[in-house]
Amino acid sequence: MADPLSEARAALEAAGQLPDAELDIAATALQLARIDAPEADWGGGAAHLSELARAAVVAAADDPAADAGDPLRRAVVLASVMQDRFGYAGDRETYEAPSNANLLRVIERRRGLPVALGLLWLHAAEAAGWAAHGLDFPGHFLIALEGPPGGLGGGAVVDPFHGGGPLQAPELRALLKATQGPQAELHPGMLGPVARRDVLLRLQNNIKLRRLRAGDLAGALACTEDMLRFAPDTAPLWREAALMHQRLDRIGAALQCLDRFLALVPEGDAAERARALAVELRQRLH
C-alpha cells in the first residue's frame, strides 16, 4: 500500500509539470493539506469539492442573468452557495491559526484565511463555467469575476473573507489602508490577475511564515520544498530553500538549491550573491 504522503507529493510533482492554465488549484491545495494534516479526512475533503462543484452548477443554471454573464449576479449566486448553503466565512477570531491555511481544516471548520476561501470560490466559479481569477492585492486575497467576452460591463471584485460582496474603489482603498497602513494608496497593478500557481504559493506562504515565526525552521523548509514540487520554476524559493538548508548545516543540499536558482537566474545581482554564497559553502565542505 502506497504511503499517503508519498502519494500526495507525487501528485504535487505531477502538478508541477502542467501548464498554469491546466492546474486544478483546489485539488492541488487538497494534496498540500493532506501533507500538512495526514490524519484529516482527505477523502471527505475531495468529496466536498465535488459537492461544491455540483451546487455551483445547479445555482448557475437557476440564475439566467448570472449564467448569461452578469458578474454582479455571479457574485450573488456564489455567495448563496458558499456562504448561505455551506456556511463559509472568514475566521476573524483566530485569524493566525495555521488551520486557516490548510484546505482540509478549512472545509471541516468552514472558516479560513482570505486566500483559502478565495480558492474555494474560484473552484465553484470554474465548476459553473464562469471565468474568475485571483488578484494581486496586497495583504488580503481578493478575486475577480469576469464579465462576458466583448461585453460592455467589466468584472466584479469580491472579497470571500467578508461575504463576497462586490467592492468598489472606496471599499478597496479602505481595505488596503486597513492591511497596509494609512499611507498606502490604491493603484491599478493591485488589481492585476495572478496565476493559478501563485494562488497556491500565497496559500502555502502563510504556513511557511507561521512555522518560521514559531522557530520551526525544518518545518518551514519542508513547506518550501513542497511548494517547489508544484512550482519548480519559482526561482526565489530555491534561494530560500538554500538559505534554510545552510542554517540547518545541510551544505550539500544548500548547494544543490543554489545551482537550481542559478539555472533559472543566471545573471544579475541576485545571481552574483548566490555564486558568492556557493563559493563560501564549498569552502566549508573542504
- Tens of pLDDT, residue by residue over 133-186, are 999 899 999 999 987 654 444 689 999 999 998 999 999 999 999 989 989 898
The answer to whether 14 and 22 are in contact (CB under 8 A) is no
pLDDT tens digits along 100-120: 999 999 999 999 999 999 999
Residue ranges of the domains in the chain? 4-191, 233-285
Please state, rounded to an integer, the average pLDDT across all residues of the chain.
Answer: 94
Q: Determine the distance from the C-alpha atom of residue 189 to the mean position of all C-alpha atoms in its chain, rounded to a whole number.
A: 19
Alpha helices in 155-250 (DSSP H): 169-180, 196-213, 217-230, 235-247
**What pTM does this model have?**
0.93
In the block, residue with C-alpha cell 500557481:
197
